[in-house]
Amino acid sequence: MSYNDEELNDLTYELALKNDIRTFCQYYISLLKAKHILIFTFCNNKDYNSKIIKINLFLYNLALYLAINTLFFDDNTMHRIYEDKGSFNLNYQLPQIIYSSFISSLFNIILKTLALSEGLILEFKSKKENENKNLDEILKKLNYKIKIKFFAYFMICSIFLIFFWFYLSIFCAIYVNIQIHLIKNSLISYILSLVYPLGINLIPGIFRILALSSPKLKRNYLYNISKILQLI
């Protein structure tokens, strides 16, 4: 029943002053474990999410980035590749790489709400601490909610994967010479999604450490800012 990283990150200001004794680096690592797809999938073993689901989400993420990048290859892009005589023009491709990375990240956030069970488990833990009378009933409801989430997740993923397979097959069959450009765009877009969490997650820690370092100053406003920023 001890707190894990997710619970510590979600504590109120008063509880954090008493229970959160982590350093800036420890807090930063806890955010990476929750948001960085590689670390979240393979290095975070103390959360309340299914390991199989996390691996499935990681593999689906690869297909998602490839499919979203394909959607950005329109007539203008094709014509520019023709003008460049088939060479890869990073300056021209960079905006659509950034857009596709952003859109893929949004889709990934939506899917994670369906795929991950930690929120329900933490809710169950809080109820278990406060009431033990209807524990069996609460557990049954928890199992039912998790089954519904997993069913919805696999249904949505299956539908999207069928669409990805169909669209990518047709695209690559028609535009054979564009495949290298597509792979490069998708690879750069995916690498970008692995890099930017390393910088963004530094910001919430600055506000949180400042808020908790001086309890007498009552810097709860800084703490609330850090909690908002850690959601990004």
pLDDT value, residue 130: 55
Segment holding 144, helix H or strand E? helix 135-174
The low-confidence residues of the chain, meaning pLDDT below 50, are none
The whole-model pTM stands at: 0.84
The predicted pLDDT at position 129 comes to 58
Determine the residue type at 163.
F
What's the confidence (pLDDT) of residue 127?
67
- Report the candidate in 67, 21, 64 with the shortest Cα–Cα distance to residue 169: 67
Helix (H, G, I), strand (E, B) or coil at 201: coil
Measured distance CA(126)–CA(191) in Å, rounded: 38
d(CA 199, CA 180): 29
* Diameter over CA atoms, the chain: 73
In three-state secondary structure terms, 187 is: helix
Q: Which of helix, strand or coil describes residue 149?
A: helix
